[in-house]
Each structure stands twice: as C-alpha cells, then as structure tokens.
C-alpha cells in the first residue's frame, strides 16, 4: 500500500464522537507517514478537528450541503481522494462518495446502503461490542492490513492535539489563579447523557477547600439560563456559561487542571488535552463508560454500581445521582 494516500475520515456528528475518531488519524500517520488526511465534519466541530496535527485539512459538510447535487459531486472529485472512510454512516454521504468515484469507500456491513455504495465492507457491530468507541473506530482500518486491535493507553497518545491556540481573551486569562487547582464543572449535557444532578455539584463545591481550588461553571448560554439558581446558590464558583467561543473554551480548558462532567464533549476535550477528566456515568448500554469513557492519561470514569440491575435491563434509572461526592473530591485531590 503506497504511503502517499489521500484519506478522508467522515464523522459528521457531535464533538465527543469526533474526538474519539481523531486517533484514527494518528494511527494512519504512524503507518503511512506521507499520507494526507482530510476530515469531513460540521461547522461546530471544526475547532476540535483542527487541534490535531495529524489532520491535514478540514472539509465542512455544512458548506457542501449548500451546493446542488452536481456541484457536491464535483467538490468531492476535486479532493482527489484515494480512500473515503464512513466512520459515522450517513446515506447521502455514502451515495456522494460513490458518485464522485472515490476508489476505496469503506463502511460497515450493518447499513444496507453501504452494500450499494462502498467498495470495502467491514464486519463491525458497535451495539453489542465490549470495545470502547475509539477502539471500534480503529476496526474500520482493517482493510489496510494494519494492526487495528489497539490498547486505550496507545490511543490516548494518538490525538496529536498540539495546535491549541493561546487564550486571547485577557479577561479570562486574568481570572485564573496560579496558586490554586483550577477545576471546571460542566453540570449539563443538553440531553446527550445521564446527569449527576445539581445537588451533587453543589455538594462538591462545598467540599472543595476554597484556598486550594478555584472553581468554574461552564456550559452553553442556554445552560446558563437553566443554571441561574444553581449559580446564585454557589457564589464562590465563577460562571463562564455562554461567555466563550468553542476555540476560547478549548484554550481555557487547556489552562485549567481538571474538569468534571457527564459524558459530554468538554469531558472528552479535557481528556484528550491530558487534563484530569472525571466522567460521571450510568452503567447502561449503550451509554456506559466501557463504550464512552474519556480516554486520556489523566482521565477517569465513575459509576455508582456497575452491576445495577435497572441499568442492565435498560429501565429508567437515576443511579448516577448516587455516585459519592467524596469519590470525586478524592480524585481531584489526588496527585
């Protein structure tokens, strides 16, 4: 297989999913040092994708969607791709890659349309697998005859997040106390994950010594509205909800020491940046930490009871709210 390949990774869903896909680029570069890697994503994930030194170019799917069908096909043709990998399956994208004549088009066997649009079909079932999402993604590279059974300790070294921008917002730079451990709490998940609950986050704030910890509350502008009373009840924590762009928020996370959240994009950003990322999870498939835990050298995932019967039978369960606040305090205090 020639190393001067032009490979496109297609993942047009959320920030956390994109982050757990980016190590694929690191593995491809390790095996084919001269290859060029493009990443097809959405506008709101551009800042994350461009963090990786392994990605040579961002392709904006939202911009492609503004074109008519003929122009979309010509656009993909002009990328001169050798390989198009459908990490996140989208029927219209699969049809587009085929229409553009990309020589190798890779997808899973699970999607009927892949049988008509892909040249290489990979046997891969995410739903019942014991593998982590980042490990499952690697299996899509098996057609290249490279090692795709990769330990999470290796994957955490494959992000290549070397392009973090300096935080240009001096107001927020000046907020940071160099003498204290800087912790970001991200209580909300926009419905993408089970949440620990605001009561627990309030208890955590109470139990972290003010002389040792500087606490920030993060979230979107909409989160800030929902968290209004919570923020008022915790005046020692600094509210940054809705006040930073994604670029700025990534830079801010990079200047802090730890982040506590449910299974959200910010948690995965912190983990990939090597920060202490403490994830709070329910042991329910398919949202359990075995599949979605943060991957990083200082990342941890907590559950209340990994054998929770309600979660195992996929009943409505809030056992995540029973995760002991002291466990989080202990992890934040640990060296």
On whether both 125 and 241 belong to a single domain, the answer is no
The string of pLDDT tens digits covering residues 13-48 is: 999 999 999 999 999 999 999 999 999 999 999 999
What local confidence, expressed as pLDDT, does residue 312 receive? 85
The rounded distance, in Å, linking the Cα atoms of 147 and 150 is 7
Phi, psi angles (nearest 5°) of residue 172: -85, -30
What local confidence, expressed as pLDDT, does residue 191 receive? 79
pLDDT at 226 over 90: yes
CA-based end-to-end distance of the chain: 45
Least-confidence region, from 99-103, 189-193, 289-293:
189-193
On whether both 144 and 272 belong to a single domain, the answer is no
Indicate the pLDDT class of residue 128, thresholds 50, 70 and 90.
Answer: confident
pLDDT at 1 over 80: no
Residue 27 lies in a domain: yes
In percent, the amount of the chain with pLDDT more than 70 equals 99
pLDDT at 49 over 80: yes
Residue 299 lies in a domain: yes
Q: What does the pLDDT average to over 217-237?
A: 96
Residue labelled with tokens 């927020």 = 172
What local confidence, expressed as pLDDT, does residue 316 receive? 87
Residue 165 lies in a domain: no
pLDDT at 177 over 70: yes
What local confidence, expressed as pLDDT, does residue 56 receive? 98
Of 285, 236, 258, give the one whose Cα is nearest residue 186. 258
On whether both 183 and 326 belong to a single domain, the answer is yes
Indicate the pLDDT class of residue 9, thresholds 50, 70 and 90.
Answer: very high
Q: Which of 127, 155, 183 is the last residue of a domain?
A: 155
Residue 160 lies in a domain: no
Phi, psi angles (nearest 5°) of residue 240: -120, 15
On whether both 51 and 78 belong to a single domain, the answer is yes
Which residue range is the domain that position 126 belongs to? 6-155
pLDDT at 2 over 90: no
On whether both 123 and 249 belong to a single domain, the answer is no
Answer whether the bond into residue 286 is a cis peptide, omega within 30°: yes
pLDDT at 173 over 60: yes
The rounded distance, in Å, linking the Cα atoms of 23 and 156 is 8
The string of pLDDT tens digits covering residues 259-272 is: 999 999 999 999 99
On whether both 79 and 110 belong to a single domain, the answer is yes
Mean pLDDT over all residues of the chain?
Answer: 95
Residue 129 lies in a domain: yes
The rounded distance, in Å, linking the Cα atoms of 150 and 156 is 10
On whether both 116 and 176 belong to a single domain, the answer is no
Cβ atoms of 217 and 227 closer than 8 Å: yes
The string of pLDDT tens digits covering residues 141-160 is: 999 999 999 999 999 999 99
On whether both 195 and 248 belong to a single domain, the answer is yes
Q: What does the pLDDT average to over 133-147?
A: 96
3-state helix/strand/coil string of the chain: CCCCCEEEEECCCCHHHHHCCCHHHHHHHHHCCCCEEEEEECHHHHHHHCCECCCCEEEEHHHHCCCCHHHHHHHHHHCCCCEEEECCCCHHHHHHHHHCCCCEEEEECCCHHHHHHCCEEECCCCCCCCCCHHHHHHHHHHHHCCCCCCCHHHHCCCCCECCCCCCCCHHHHCCCCCCCEEEEEECCCCCCCCCCCHHHHHHHHHHCCCCCEEEEECCCHHHHHHCHHHHHHCCCCEECCCCCCHHHHHHHHHHCCEEEECCCHHHHHHHHCCCEEEEECCCCCCCCHHHHCCCCCCEEEECCCCCCHHHHCCCCCCHHHHCCHHHHHHHHHCC
3-state helix/strand/coil string of 31-62: HCCCCEEEEEECHHHHHHHCCECCCCEEEEHH
Q: Which of 155, 190, 225 is the last residue of a domain?
A: 155
pLDDT at 3 over 70: no
Q: Which of 155, 180, 198 is the last residue of a domain?
A: 155
On whether both 150 and 182 belong to a single domain, the answer is no
CATH number at residue 251: 3.40.50.2000
pLDDT at 174 over 70: yes
Residue 102 lies in a domain: yes
On whether both 183 and 292 belong to a single domain, the answer is yes
Residue labelled with tokens 């014991």 = 130
What local confidence, expressed as pLDDT, does residue 93 receive? 98
On whether both 100 and 213 belong to a single domain, the answer is no
On whether both 13 and 123 belong to a single domain, the answer is yes
pLDDT at 190 over 90: no
Indicate the pLDDT class of residue 251, thresholds 50, 70 and 90.
Answer: very high
Residue 219 lies in a domain: yes
Total tally of structural domains belonging to the chain: 2
Question: Tokens in use for 22?
Answer: 């980016």
Cβ atoms of 35 and 29 closer than 8 Å: yes
Residue 90 lies in a domain: yes
């Amino acid at each position: 297989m020639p190393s001067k390949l032009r490979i496109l990774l297609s993942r047009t869903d959320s920030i956390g999913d994109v982050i757990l896909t980016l190590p694929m680029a690191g593995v491809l570069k390790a095996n084919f040092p001269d290859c060029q890697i493009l990443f097809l994503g959405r506008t709101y994930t551009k800042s994350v994708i461009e963090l990786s030194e392994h990605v040579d170019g961002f392709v904006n799917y939202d911009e492609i969607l503004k074109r008519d069908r003929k122009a979309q096909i010509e656009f993909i043709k002009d990328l001169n791709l050798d390989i198009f990998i459908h990490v996140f399956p989208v029927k219209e994208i699969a049809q587009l890659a085929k229409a553009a004549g990309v020589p190798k088009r890779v997808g899973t066997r699970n999607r009927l349309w892949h049988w008509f649009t892909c040249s290489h079909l990979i046997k891969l079932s995410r739903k019942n697998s014991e593998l982590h999402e980042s490990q499952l993604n690697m299996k899509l590279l098996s057609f290249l005859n490279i090692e795709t059974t990769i330990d999470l300790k290796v994957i955490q070294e494959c992000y290549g997040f070397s392009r973090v921008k300096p935080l240009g917002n001096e107001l927020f730079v000046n907020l940071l106390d160099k003498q204290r451990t800087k912790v970001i709490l991200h209580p909300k998940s926009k419905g993408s994950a089970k949440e620990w609950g605001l009561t627990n986050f309030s208890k955590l704030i109470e139990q972290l010594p003010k002389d040792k910890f500087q606490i920030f509350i993060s979230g979107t502008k909409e989160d800030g509205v929902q968290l209004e009373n919570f923020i008022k009840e915790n005046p020692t924590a600094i509210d940054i909800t809705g006040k930073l762009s994604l670029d700025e928020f990534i830079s801010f996370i990079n200047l802090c020491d730890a982040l506590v959240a449910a299974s959200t994009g910010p948690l995965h950003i912190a983990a990939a940046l090597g920060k202490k990322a403490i994830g709070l999870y329910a042991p329910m498939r398919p949202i359990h930490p075995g599949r979605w835990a943060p991957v990083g050298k200082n990342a941890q995932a907590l559950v209340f009871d990994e054998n929770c019967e309600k979660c195992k039978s996929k009943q409505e369960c809030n056992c995540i709210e029973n995760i002991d606040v002291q466990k989080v305090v202990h992890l934040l205090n640990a060296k």
